[in-house]
Each structure stands twice: as C-alpha cells, then as structure tokens.
C-alpha cells in the first residue's frame, strides 16, 4: 500500500482520488499537485513507481499543511476564538452552529440527540 505524507492511500484507486484521502487535500489541490509533478491523474496508485511517489510526497510537504498539523492548527484557531470570547467562540463552547444556521428546528448534528423537556404536555385554559 503506497504511503504519502505518512498516510496509507488506497492502491486500487486512481491517484487523483487516492490523494483526496489525505486530510487537507481536496479535488483542486490534488489536481494542482499532479499537474505540478507531471503525473496523469487517471493512473492507479499501485502503478506509480517510487520516483513518482517521492515527487508527489515532496510536493505535498513543500507547500500544503495536511493531517496532524492541519488538525492542530484548526483546534488552535477554535481555541483562540473561545479565549477572546467571540460570538463564534461562544457558539463552539455551547456546541451550537457557528455559521448562522437556524436552531429552532434542525441543527441536530451540533446539538445532539433530542432531550424532552418536562411540563410541556398540553396547554390548559
């Protein structure tokens, strides 16, 4: 199994898609890397020789923040928002959506499983 940036990438997939298994590399960045190195994106990852894999790994190391460093950087950014008590930081702290989505309905991914509130059975009057 080929390794790039310390990550095992799937060997039977085309290298264009296999690169996208690395956290921090999407479609555009994968396309740019392959163009820079001069490797055809339609080739399978297991058909690349060591020289081509090394050149791809070197291109990734040279200019792209990936995997652990990227995750650490994202956590530091969120922690900074919390420390300065910004609106977005407070939303992160409370576990609510940070980008303006509605929370009256939906938002279950951020809020978690529904919790029923006692005393809300019916309106008497």
Say if residue 5's pLDDT is above 70. Answer: no
Mean pLDDT over all residues of the chain? Answer: 89
The pLDDT tens digits of the residues spanning 31-58 come to 999 999 999 999 999 999 889 999 999 9
Instruction: Return the structure tokens found at 97.
Output: 């959506």
Buried b (16+ CB within 10 A) or exposed e, 34-63: beebebeeeeebeebeeebbebbbebbeee
Question: Is a pLDDT exceeding 80 seen at residue 124?
Answer: no
Residue 112, SS3 per DSSP: coil
CA-to-CA separations, 98 to 43, 86, 93, 94, 107, in angstroms, rounded: 40, 11, 10, 10, 11
Question: Is the pLDDT at 27 greater than 60, yes or no?
Answer: yes
Share of the chain above pLDDT 70, in %: 92
Question: Is 60 exceeded by the pLDDT of residue 125?
Answer: no
Which residue is it, tokens 């060591």?
Answer: 50
The sign of the dihedral angle between the CA atoms of 100, 104, 106, 112 is positive
Which residue has 């509130």 as its token pair? 117
Pick the more confident residue, 116 or 74: 74
pTM: 0.76
């Amino acid at each position: 199994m080929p390794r790039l940036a310390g990550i095992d990438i799937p060997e039977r997939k085309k290298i264009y898609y296999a690169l996208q298994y690395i956290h921090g590399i999407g479609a555009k960045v994968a396309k740019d890397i392959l163009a820079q190195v001069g490797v055809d994106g339609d080739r399978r990852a297991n058909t690349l020789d060591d020289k081509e894999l090394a050149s791809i790994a070197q291109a990734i190391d040279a200019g792209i923040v990936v995997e652990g460093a990227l995750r650490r950087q994202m956590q530091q950014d969120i922690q900074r928002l919390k420390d300065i008590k910004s609106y977005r930081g407070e939303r992160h702290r409370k576990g609510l959506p940070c980008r303006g989505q509605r929370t009256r309905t939906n938002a279950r991914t951020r809020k978690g499983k529904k919790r029923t509130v006692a005393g809300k059975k019916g309106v008497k009057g």
